[in-house]
Structure 1
């Protein structure tokens, strides 16, 4: 049987305690649920326009103002967005204005309230008119 001095006993106890702590940490990491991309870090909110009613078809996310949709395309396609939106989701804390004439943002308009949705622009006489998006 090996005897240990006071200093050796303390080091042994410390080593055992650190080993147990490390085992607990590994167990916690192995069993912890994995965060999804949306849960990791600060969540980003967008204003989203959809090509069709009821949030259907292609879509495009906006994190800020875009005054000319004539040069923006639906979700990775070659289809220009200009005058092609039929529904929207505003997941931001901002009012978002849309107009039917790009660049100068004039003509008929529609304003989306913060954190709102509209499944059909026809009820606002704004179907297929969005040419300009401005965060207000």
Structure 2
């Protein structure tokens, strides 16, 4: 009887610990998502991990990727209403190599052949 109660207490403690870990992970994901509302964000690693650079466009225009993520971006979020074009050259020179539709995400730019290549970003009207 005593062993059964101890065993049940152990199972309950393990279940509560697991739930707290899942809650912390979900909270971290929500914080990462909320840091990029209404703008465009590039991330250093797949699945929105690592360093982040946020671009705030109030109209169409071009911005260079900062030195931390220049040619190192592996995922992106575009919660804005604008289409974003990524270029391999500074100042949006040449033709773009990747286009992000309005209100889209891409957790791995590898599948589009644009992993670790972004040097500048242009916002254009959809």
Partner of 2:28: none
The residue correspondences of 1:88-99 to structure 2 (distance < 5 A) are 88-99=76-87
- Quote the offset at 1:107 in angstroms: 5.0
Residue 113 of structure 1 pairs with residue 109 of structure 2: no
- Quote the offset at 1:108 in angstroms: 5.3
Structure in which a larger fraction of residues adopt helix: 2
- Runs of 5+ unmatched residues, structure 1: 1-43, 74-79
Query: 2:92, 2:122 within 8 Å by CA — same for their partners in 1?
Result: no
Residue 63 (structure 2) aligned to one of 62, 67, 71: 67
Separation in 2, partners of 1:104, 1:94: 16
> Normalising to structure 1: TM-score of the pair?
0.57
Q: CA RMSD in A?
A: 1.6
Residue 129 of structure 1 pairs with residue 113 of structure 2: no
Which structure exhibits the higher relative contact order, with contacts defined as CA atoms closer than 8 Å and separated by 6 or more residues?
A: 2
The aligned length equals 85
> Normalising to structure 2: TM-score of the pair?
0.62
